[in-house]
Amino acid sequence: MAVTLASRHLSVHFGGHVAVNAATAEFRAGELTAIVGPNGAGKTTYFNLLSGQIRASSGQVLLGGLDITRASAPARADLGLGRAFQLTNLFPRLSVLENVRLAVQSRARAGFNFLARTGVRVDLIQQAHGHLEAAGLSARAQDTAASLPHGDKRKLEVAMLMALQPKVLMLDEPTAGMSADEVPRVLDLIRTLKAQGDRTILLVEHKLDVIRSLADRIIVLHNGTLVADGAPAQVMNSQIVKDAYLGTSPSTQRVAHA
Ligand SMILES: Nc1ncnc2c1ncn2[C@@H]1O[C@H](COP(=O)(O)OP(=O)(O)OP(=O)(O)O)[C@@H](O)[C@H]1O
């Protein structure tokens, strides 16, 4: 499968601290990669570098072969890089339906003139209802986003990403704070997203059962360094992961392909 997103020797330092150290990785269409590592390993910082929330000190980010290292986060989003933030994308005072409709509209690049056509507006709303149904949120369509319980907010966020249809989807602990019975629905949603149009999905995740059920591939970061990259069975059983991820050895500095 084609490489959609890649980082080459990507680094960032904060003062004297190297948070991500020369990370080189390629992400392919149709592949879901879990990025794991102990607290402070650099997972969120690596995500921020890929999505443009922070600028790299050195190295490159490529999207569809295009060098986007200097592109802003909104420019990257326009180019098809979608990221679910932990609930910061939601419009709290708007209804659940309105939140998703805005995402559908943004995807459709619909301006006011365009929206003035009733047929188009109805179509956008129908599409929004479709995404809400897939997310299991139809019953909450008219409630404000702010009034949703945490798990439903996360589902809404995923529904909005579905509406935006990005080529690359970055999910930051999508099941964080959810009750055990809510998790399967979100995992199903992520599988649906992956199946739609051979999407590239990157997932930062701590829960091993979520990783096992979704990941085609696992990347391990430790002290900002990419220490393992491979198929889940190999990576999870490798000594380097037992050392780095389970924290039995704090000094893992090797770069290995498990
Ligand atoms: N803006 C910043 N300024 C200074 N240091 C930072 C900044 N952002 C991150 N760091 C440091 O970089 C390192 C990596 O942090 P990061 O949040 O990326 O780790 P993480 O793997 O996502 O951790 P967690 O699993 O706890 O969320 C940490 O030591 C953190 O303190």
Q: Quick: pLDDT tens for 59-114.
A: 999 999 999 999 998 889 888 888 776 556 788 999 999 999 988 887 776 444 55
* Stated length of the chain: 258
pLDDT digits (tens, 9 = 90+) for 115-164: 555 666 778 889 999 999 988 899 999 999 999 988 888 889 888 888 88
Closest residue CA from atom 5 of ligand 1: 14
Lowest mean pLDDT, pick from 8-22, 180-194, 213-227: 180-194
DSSP string for the chain: --EEEEEEEEEEEETTEEEEEEEEEEEETT-EEEEE-STTSSHHHHHHHHHTSS--SEEEEEETTEE-TT--HHHHHHTTEEEE-SSTT--TTSBHHHHHHHHHHHHHT--HHHHTSHHHHHHHHHHHHHHHHHTT-GGGTTSBGGGS-HHHHHHHHHHHHHHH--SEEEEESTTTT--TTTHHHHHHHHHHHHHTTT-EEEEE---HHHHHHH-SEEEEEETTEEEEEE-HHHHHHSHHHHHHTS-S-TT-------
Tokens 């199946």 belong to which residue?
195
Distance from C-alpha of 169 to C-alpha of 158, rounded to nearest angstrom: 10
- Res. 39 pLDDT band, cuts 50 70 90: confident
Ligand 1 centre from 54 Cα, in Å? Answer: 12
* Percent of the chain topping pLDDT 70: 86
Residues with Cβ within 8 Å of 123's Cβ and at least 6 positions away in sequence, in order, are none
Question: Rounded to 5 degrees, what angle do the CA atoms 195, 204, 256 make?
Answer: 100
Asked if the ipTM is above 0.90, the reply is yes
Q: Say if strands 200-204 and 217-222 run parallel, antiparallel, or are unpaired.
A: unpaired
Report whether residue 37 contacts ligand 1, using a CB cutoff of 6 Å.
yes
Residue 250: pLDDT above 70? no
Report whether residue 44 contacts ligand 1, using a CB cutoff of 6 Å.
yes
DSSP string for 94-144: SBHHHHHHHHHHHHHT--HHHHTSHHHHHHHHHHHHHHHHHTT-GGGTTSB
Under CATH, what is the fold of the domain 1-80+166-258? Rossmann fold (3.40.50)
Tokens 């890929």 belong to which residue?
50
- Res. 173 pLDDT band, cuts 50 70 90: confident
Report whether residue 45 contacts ligand 1, using a CB cutoff of 6 Å.
yes
User: What pTM value is reported for the model?
Assistant: 0.84
pLDDT digits (tens, 9 = 90+) for 10-28: 999 999 899 999 999 999 9
Question: To test the ligand 1 pocket, which listed residue (18, 44, 204, 208) has its Cβ within 8 A of the most ligand atoms?
Answer: 44
Q: How many CB atoms lie within 10 A of CB 31?
A: 19
Domains in the chain: boundaries: 1-80+166-258, 90-165
255 against 150, higher pLDDT:
150
Mean pLDDT of the chain: 85
Q: Which pLDDT value is given to residue 112?
A: 47
AA letter at 167: K
Report whether residue 23 contacts ligand 1, using a CB cutoff of 6 Å.
no
Gap between the terminal Cα atoms of the chain? 21
Q: Which pLDDT value is given to residue 239?
A: 82
7 against 211, higher pLDDT:
7
